[in-house]
Chains A and B, each alone.
Chain A
Amino acid sequence: MPAIIQLKNVTKTYTLGDEVLKALNSVNFSIEPGEFIAITGPSGSGKSTLANIIGGLDRPTEGSVVVDGNDLARVRDSKLSAYRNTHIGFVFQSFNLQGSQTALENVMLPLVFARMRAKDRKARATECLQAVGLGDRLRHRPSQLSGGQRQRVAIARALATKPSIIIADEPTGNLDSARGEEIIKLLKELHDTGITLIIITHDPTIARQAERIVIIRDGRLAERRA
């Protein structure tokens, strides 16, 4: 199977004062359809940077990120945004839900940017919330939900536009272990439906469940097949 995303010699540098930090150093990496990859490594090793570059949220300083023959490092903002909208679903450690909006409205947000009609948006968002087991919490605001439920809303939001890849950056970091396990179980179920799953974690028990573990140390990759 051809790789859906291919990173070639990706380097990302940050400048902090006089100091130049290399978050990623000539990384070569490819993702195939339907994979479950765990990206792990010590904090500050560059694993979030790698996830952000894969997700089109960030651009590499050097190198290319090839998706469907397009280099994400060079496409225009509108194209990159469309890529994030339709191909990628992000799940964050701190949920990043809009506090003033209901679960339903939060899940509808990506569909707004996909120019979907209000009626269809509602239907699709309801469907996604039902899929994560929150069919009875549509009108709740994040403050009325538990941590695990909030992360489920975030996962429903990631699913809304039917992306091919879900990138979860420390999805269990703000949850207790029981809730964390439930979230991982949910993500794995989604993976079973054919979605490519990329989890960034420093928890070896989570990493071990992946088909492929990518370890980053000082911006360089070390890979291990599960």
Chain B
Amino acid sequence: MRFIDYIVMALRNIMRQKLRSALTIFAVVIGATSVTIMLAAVFSLKGFMTKQLEANGTFQQIQVSPQQDIAWGDGGNTGCADCTKLTDELVTKISTQPHVMGVARMVQLGQMQALTYGDQKLRLNQVSAYDTNGILHNNVVAGRDLNAQDKDGVLTITSDYANKLGFKNNYRALVGKSVGLVTQNWYNGVGSDPAKQYKDQMAWFEAHPGQDGRDYTPPSTTLTGTIVGIVDSGFSSFTVRVPLAWARGMSESQTYQVTKADQEAAQAKCRAAHTPCNSQPAPHLVVSDELAKQGYSSLIVKADQSSNANGVAKNIRDKFHVGAADAQTQIKQQLAIFNVLGYILGGIGGIALVVAAVGVINTMVMSILERTREIGVMRAVGARRSTVSRLFTFEAGLLGMLGGVIGLGLGYGVVLIANPIINKQLQTNGVTGSNIITLPLWLIFGVIGLTTLIGLLAGLYPARRAAKLDPVEALHYE
């Protein structure tokens, strides 16, 4: 029997019992549709995120931190015992390493307590500062990102802050507005008034004689900044970003002090004049660059190519005894969760397909019972056992294939409906990208191939039964 005749005959037999065939195929369709949608969604999302990160240059980035055993994205810690300080000297050395395109210094300042806008006051734990040298990009949804010209008094806030401030869908209106950064009480960086603070403290001591200085609480300072841009929240929902120059000032310690040197100088003066030294010498302003003393929280190193990121990270780790992790390795591990998700969801669709396979077996067994006489006739006019077997296997495979094709079509329909919805969602979040869910070719052929295979496998047992029928008995079957 010719191959084409198998197809024609199988198709004709399927058409003969339209309702039953349709119901059987329906079960396959459900399985195929769910497998299609689930796998397409999971793998498209994974691909989209990977592409997004690739486009941001994230895969070229290496995070350097004072601690040696640190993963990418963990943030820096300047306070540990066996840490290596991330100093400007180190930054210079790292910049000259092979495959390094540039370094951005980062600081997390934890001396903040609130962000104010008009009479609104939102919680603010820390301010992020970084070199605005083009190595770190942020996803700007309104206004602009910080640039190299920016100094004190400029900042960006995340869209989550903007939403909380009541500017959802109207981010543009926030650009150019002033906000206040309310510091913690002991803040004595740029913008504070160290002379007044000294005076207030002295006054308090006079008013509370014999009391411990620890009971004195200085007032907080409010720094004023202009919003130049709103940045997509991404993974860090409530963040205020400032240029590194401003952060350097914020981390300064400005205090009026009478140092030991002052006292010695005063005493020497008294001795020389032969007068008793009764009064304290006048205090003077001492400014200390704490950032230089403590080092940066972390550095972001940009490799020339994403494929070199891992090597650069290893080199930095080995040479400078700091922590260095490339984003790529880390993120790819994290994205592997999508594979697991894909397998789980695909598995659910797979169960539906198993149920569908049972349906195919049932239909075929019934069909063979009904067509026993017909099988007898086919055998009498020259059909081999293998011909009969193949015919029914083909029929079952065709049921599976039709189910797969229809399921794929339905899945495609769902994708067509889902994409515009996702597009809209992406747009409101300021993410560039449209029609992110796609049906890759491997999925199309995979689903049709899978359902066809399931059909063929489901057809094996009924086909064997049909082939084993005794032609003489089959011809007289009622």
* Residues of chain A having any CB pair with chain B under 8 Å: 52, 55, 57-58, 77-78, 81-82, 84-86, 90, 92, 96-98, 100, 109-110, 112-115, 117-118, 157, 161
Taking CB atoms, residues of chain B closer than 8 Å to A118 are 4-5
Q: A98-B374, A100-B16 are in contact. Are A114 and B380 (CB under 8 A)?
A: no
A110 touches B475 (CB 8 A): no
- 16 A-B pairs (CB sep. < 8 Å): A57-B380, A57-B471, A57-B475, A81-B383, A81-B384, A81-B385, A81-B387, A96-B373, A96-B377, A97-B377, A98-B377, A109-B381, A110-B381, A113-B381, A118-B4, A118-B5
Q: How far is the CA of A117 from the CA of B8 in the complex (A)?
A: 13
- Report B322-362 CB contacts with A as 1/0, cut-off 8 Å: 00000000000000000000000000000000000000000
Q: How far is the CA of A219 from the CA of B429 in the complex (A)?
A: 90
Identify which of A85, A109, A115, A117 contacts B377 (C-beta below 8 A).
A109
B378 within 8 A of A: yes
Q: How far is the CA of A77 from the CA of B472 in the complex (A)?
A: 14
Q: A77-B384, A98-B374 are in contact. Are A112 and B471 (CB under 8 A)?
A: no
* CB proximity of A56 to chain B, nearest CB, Å: 9
Taking CB atoms, residues of chain B closer than 8 Å to A110 are 381-382
Interface residues on B, range: 20 to 34
B376 within 8 A of A: yes
B382 touches A78 (CB 8 A): no
B2 within 8 A of A: yes
Q: How far is the CA of A55 from the CA of B378 in the complex (A)?
A: 14
A113 touches B378 (CB 8 A): yes
Taking CB atoms, residues of chain A closer than 8 Å to B471 are 57-58
Taking CB atoms, residues of chain B closer than 8 Å to A92 are 475
Residue on B nearest A84 in the bound complex, by CB: B382
A86 touches B382 (CB 8 A): yes
Taking CB atoms, residues of chain B closer than 8 Å to A52 are 472
Q: A100-B16, A115-B1, A115-B2 are in contact. Are A84 and B472 (CB under 8 A)?
A: no
Identify which of B1, B373, B385, B475 contacts A77 (C-beta below 8 A).
B385
Q: How far is the CA of A117 from the CA of B4 in the complex (A)?
A: 10
Taking CB atoms, residues of chain A closer than 8 Å to B374 are 98
Q: Could you tell me the dominant secondary structure of chain B's interface residues?
A: helix
Residue on B nearest A121 in the bound complex, by CB: B5
Taking CB atoms, residues of chain A closer than 8 Å to B379 are 57, 81, 84
* CB proximity of A119 to chain B, nearest CB, Å: 12
B377 touches A113 (CB 8 A): no
* CB proximity of B392 to chain A, nearest CB, Å: 15
* CB proximity of B368 to chain A, nearest CB, Å: 15
Taking CB atoms, residues of chain B closer than 8 Å to A157 are 381
Residue on A nearest B374 in the bound complex, by CB: A98
Identify which of A58, A112, A161 contacts B5 (C-beta below 8 A).
A112
B380 touches A113 (CB 8 A): no
Taking CB atoms, residues of chain A closer than 8 Å to B385 are 77, 81
Taking CB atoms, residues of chain B closer than 8 Å to A96 are 373, 376-377, 380, 475
B305 within 8 A of A: no
For window 1-29 of B, CB contacts with A under 8 Å fall at 1-2, 4-5, 9, 16
Chain B CB count within 10 A is highest, among A85, A90, A112, A114, for: A112
* CB proximity of A50 to chain B, nearest CB, Å: 12
Q: How far is the CA of A96 from the CA of B381 in the complex (A)?
A: 11
Taking CB atoms, residues of chain A closer than 8 Å to B9 are 112
Q: How far is the CA of A82 from the CA of B2 in the complex (A)?
A: 15
B237 within 8 A of A: no
The 3 A-B pairs with the shortest beta carbon distances in the complex, nearest first, are A85-B382, A110-B381, A113-B382
B428 within 8 A of A: no
A84 touches B381 (CB 8 A): yes
B472 touches A57 (CB 8 A): yes
B472 touches A112 (CB 8 A): no
- Report B37-60 CB contacts with A as 1/0, cut-off 8 Å: 000000000000000000000000
* CB proximity of B34 to chain A, nearest CB, Å: 35
Taking CB atoms, residues of chain A closer than 8 Å to B475 are 57, 92, 96
Taking CB atoms, residues of chain A closer than 8 Å to B435 are none
Taking CB atoms, residues of chain B closer than 8 Å to A85 are 381-382
Taking CB atoms, residues of chain B closer than 8 Å to A97 are 377
B185 within 8 A of A: no
B386 within 8 A of A: yes
* CB proximity of B370 to chain A, nearest CB, Å: 11
Q: How far is the CA of A12 from the CA of B158 in the complex (A)?
A: 92
Q: A57-B472, A98-B374 are in contact. Are A90 and B380 (CB under 8 A)?
A: yes
A113 touches B472 (CB 8 A): no
- Report B301-333 CB contacts with A as 1/0, cut-off 8 Å: 000000000000000000000000000000000
* CB proximity of B468 to chain A, nearest CB, Å: 11
Taking CB atoms, residues of chain B closer than 8 Å to A98 are 374, 377
Residue on B nearest A117 in the bound complex, by CB: B2
A81 touches B382 (CB 8 A): yes
* CB proximity of A139 to chain B, nearest CB, Å: 16
* CB proximity of B64 to chain A, nearest CB, Å: 74
Q: How far is the CA of A157 from the CA of B2 in the complex (A)?
A: 19
B16 touches A113 (CB 8 A): no
B16 touches A112 (CB 8 A): no
Residue on B nearest A52 in the bound complex, by CB: B472
Taking CB atoms, residues of chain B closer than 8 Å to A115 are 1-2
Q: How far is the CA of A58 from the CA of B379 in the complex (A)?
A: 11
Chain A CB count within 10 A is highest, among B9, B382, B386, for: B382
Taking CB atoms, residues of chain A closer than 8 Å to B472 are 52, 57-58
- Report B389-419 CB contacts with A as 1/0, cut-off 8 Å: 0000000000000000000000000000000
Residue on A nearest B383 in the bound complex, by CB: A113
A78 touches B384 (CB 8 A): yes
Taking CB atoms, residues of chain A closer than 8 Å to B378 are 109, 113
Q: How far is the CA of A1 from the CA of B465 in the complex (A)?
A: 43
B384 touches A161 (CB 8 A): no
Q: How far is the CA of A90 from the CA of B378 in the complex (A)?
A: 11
Taking CB atoms, residues of chain A closer than 8 Å to B382 are 81-82, 84-86, 110, 113-114, 161
Q: How far is the CA of A110 from the CA of B373 in the complex (A)?
A: 15
* CB proximity of B31 to chain A, nearest CB, Å: 30
